[in-house]
């Protein structure tokens, strides 16, 4: 398994990161243990979770994924073999079960969230602690355009960074990262770290796939020049790039079948682009999902692609995509499709 440095740190992480958000909802603890065992046996040393998980978020499953990982650490004794990433929620007015719906990115909330995550994970440190989404009003979670809004009450990024710095100083967090951020937000974090005694971000976890390459518009250069590599989430666009939802198909165990409110990758343009990418993969004798993952992992600004699987076959196929090298001809064809359907699913 190929590895990359995590930002400017001394940590090496596998290019495939094991995503975990289905554990505790679509997957049982037994399923999750099997996934972790298989992934680590095949060179994966990087796990990503969050206090928010399992997904979709609800009170009954809040923190379930972290608890499952903690139980696996206790059973296997492999905590020190894993680079562990987790996240603190931004404002949670839409999640009333998380700190009474009043979570913010201030010291009180960040420290409380980290302490709770450490207990669930049964560890005394988190390798990469990430801000899950910004406190201010901006475009993330599928919003491509920016609409100026009054956010005078937003927690300043400096205050958030100072709280994260306290956790780093206490040894509870080794490095910090951001998620669902914009170029402006990323540069604010970097500027503060350059001008004050505050920790530097080592990663940016944003969506990136054949259906959403908006990261390339502004963040890719930031990521490359500032050594804050992309942790690409949804590299298969909720599984749509496998082609399994084309022609109105609704596989019984599919995420979009089970949770139809998740429509980010199923608009008409996205479906048309998916069909074109699937046809291209078949033309070259490739599995569409493996082609999509191989493309993401070939990007120079990428640190790791976060894969999620609900079956062992999906997991094995996703990990095996690391053996796939895409030809220049195929990459040219991908660019032609992208020109026809640019970022259809932001």
53, 129, 233, 277: which one is catalytic? Answer: 53
Per DSSP, the residues of 155-174 read: PPHHHHHHHHHHHHHTTSEE
| 3-state secondary structure at position 266 | coil
223 contact partners, CB below 8 Å, separation of at least 6? 186, 204, 215, 229, 230, 301
Where residue 178 falls (left for φ over 0; alpha for ψ -120 to 50; beta otherwise) is beta
Residue 122 dihedral angles phi and psi, to the nearest 5°: 55, 50
Helix boundaries (H) for 4-88: 29-41, 64-76
Respond yes or no: is residue 129 known to be catalytic: no
The C-alpha atoms of residue 115 and residue 109 are separated, in whole angstroms, by: 10
Q: Give the residues across from 84 on adjacent strands.
A: 47
Q: Which two tokens stand for residue 164?
A: 């994260």
Q: What are the catalytic residues? A: 53
């Amino acid at each position: 398994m190929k590895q990359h440095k995590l930002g400017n740190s001394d940590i090496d992480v596998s290019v495939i990161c094991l995503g975990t958000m289905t554990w505790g909802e679509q997957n049982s603890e037994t399923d999750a243990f099997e996934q972790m065992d298989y992934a680590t046996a095949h060179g994966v040393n990087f796990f990503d979770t969050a206090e928010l998980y399992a997904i979709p978020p609800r009170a009954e499953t809040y923190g379930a994924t972290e608890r499952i990982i903690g139980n696996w650490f206790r059973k296997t004794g492999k905590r020190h073999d894993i680079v562990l990433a987790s996240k603190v929620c931004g404002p949670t007015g839409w999640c009333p079960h998380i700190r009474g719906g009043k979570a913010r990115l201030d010291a009180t909330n960040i420290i409380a969230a980290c302490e709770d995550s450490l207990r669930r994970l049964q560890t005394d440190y988190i390798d990469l602690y990430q801000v899950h989404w910004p406190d201010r009003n901006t475009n993330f979670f599928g919003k491509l355009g920016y609409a100026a809004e009054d956010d005078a009450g937003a927690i300043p990024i400096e205050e958030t960074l100072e709280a994260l710095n306290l956790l780093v100083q206490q040894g509870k967090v080794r490095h910090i990262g951001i998620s669902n951020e914009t170029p402006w937000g990323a540069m604010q974090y970097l500027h503060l770290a350059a001008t004050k005694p505050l920790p530097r971000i080592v990663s940016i976890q944003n969506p990136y796939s054949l259906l959403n390459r908006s990261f390339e518009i502004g963040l890719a250069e930031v990521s490359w020049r500032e050594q804050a590599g992309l942790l690409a989430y949804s590299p298969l666009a909720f599984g749509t790039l496998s082609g399994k939802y084309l022609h109105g198909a609704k596989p019984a165990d599919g995420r979009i079948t089970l949770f139809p409110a998740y429509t980010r990758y199923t608009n008409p343009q996205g479906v048309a682009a998916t069909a074109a990418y699937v046809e291209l993969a078949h033309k070259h004798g490739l599995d569409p999902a493996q082609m999509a993952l191989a493309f993401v992992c070939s990007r120079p600004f990428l640190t790791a692609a976060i894969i999620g699987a609900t079956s062992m076959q999906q997991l094995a196929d996703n990990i095996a995509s690391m053996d796939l090298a895409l030809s220049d001809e195929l990459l040219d064809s991908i660019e032609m499709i992208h020109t026809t359907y640019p970022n259809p699913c932001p």
